[in-house]
Amino acid sequence: MLFNSIEFVFFFIIVTGLYFLLPHKYRWFLLLAASCYFYMAFVPVYLLILAFTIVVDYFAGIYIENSRGHKRKLLLIASLIANIGVLAVFKYYNFINDNITHILGNFGIPNNIPYLQILLPIGLSFHTFQAMSYTIEVYRGNQPAERHFGIYSLYVMFYPQLVAGPIERPQNLLHQFYTKHKFEYNNVVSGLRLMLWGFVKKLFIADRLAIYVNAVYGNPEEHTGITLIVATVFFAFQIYCDFSGYSEIAIGSARVMGFDLMKNFNRPYLAQNISEFWKKWHISLSTWFKDYLYISLGGNRVSLPRVYLNLFIVFLISGLWHGANWTYVIWGGLNGIYLITAMMRRKYIDQYIEKIIPVNNRFIKVINILITFILICFSWIFFRAESLDDAMLIIGRVFTFSGPLFYYNPLMAYCVMAIAFLLISEILLERHGAIIWKTYNSNRFLRYSSYIVLVLIILLFGVFDGGQFIYFQF
């Protein structure tokens, strides 16, 4: 079920209403049943995949907690293999098979391994990682094994963040299903307000930008360098508004019922360097890789060259997590190189620059933000391109800076206006957030008039046939 659908509006109202009407002891069952219905609205049979991993990890958690010595590690490995195995079959089997075919073809050897005609289950990477975080935390002794099978199932399947995150840790979410949430006016208002802003990002900004981006990236050979630059910048804001919009709708819908989900985005395009960008972008995934992969590889406890290698490995795997295509792997590797270079610059160069130019110089801050944004936009080319050949074609034309703009019409003006609206909002919140929220919360007329304006923006300018969210494919 898509958040940006009429069906979800009715679903959300009914589920939330019943949640507060039911006695506390039955609420977990309502949420679990609603989450199953929510997921079955996509491809019903794929609920069986979730059921398989839930059963495996539920019992793995209990056995890990009750075991000692090497047996605990073997149980964890078995659980991880089961989860990664499901992900590998549905997401990477045909990708691996394609590469085997290509390698064998170079030697004139046919590949007789059959291809699988299967669809990737919606959000498989997200709930797989959330399930893995549970067994890892139980193994580390940071989370007691959950004995209530229904509550554990709900932890994996909680509908607001089931298909695109935020990827929660068991320490933050599991205990909340035992808490008796009362109807709290402030939670309801805050949650609905966050959902409204998420819908604005998705329907008013992301889906309108998608019209231009899809037209250009769908046929890059027909477009000039300038048009491809504009489309790449538009895509940077499209993917941000699409994914952060989903996260805010998810966090808001959970907050209405009293649940607290982690913040997933924190105005990343105002970051002054790559390291800061990755602390602000897709926070739940970035911290997941840090906590469970980077630290497991040695983290910062090893030699500096090894630290750099660990970071590069993490970003390569992050790229592969996003999709079974070499474009995603290159995107991940490129961001790894960015981060390693930034760390080296900070270690060997910045200390000398700071003696000449003050760190808090406003002009330098703006320049750093622009440089960071340009680097991120360049990497987005690989993320958005439909193939590696398309990516190289786009890069070749981008650096020519040639040709007139494509779609220089009302659509272009609309896209620029939408991005300006977003940037002004985020810059004001970044610089004067405390004052703005204090004024906003104390002025009832300002609050309600802004709600009306945002609803009208969605109704008048929103795109209601934009389809699913970008990150559903991951």
Give the residue numbers annotated as catalytic, written as ranges.
Answer: 322
Q: Quick one: tokens of 372?
A: 């960071």
Separation CA 247–CA 261 (nearest Å): 9
Q: Determine which helix (DSSP H) or strand (DSSP E) holds 43, and give its type and residue range.
A: none
Its sign, for the CA torsion 312, 313, 314, 320, is positive
Residue appearing with tokens 């940037």? 423
Separation CA 251–CA 198 (nearest Å): 10
3-state class (DSSP) for residue 147? coil
Separation CA 14–CA 118 (nearest Å): 33
Burial letters 65-102, b for 16+ CB under 10 A, else e: beeeeeebeebbeebbebbeebbeebbbbbeeeeeeee
Its sign, for the CA torsion 288, 88, 243, 248, is negative
Residue appearing with tokens 């649940």? 259
Cis peptide before 404 (omega within 30 of 0): no
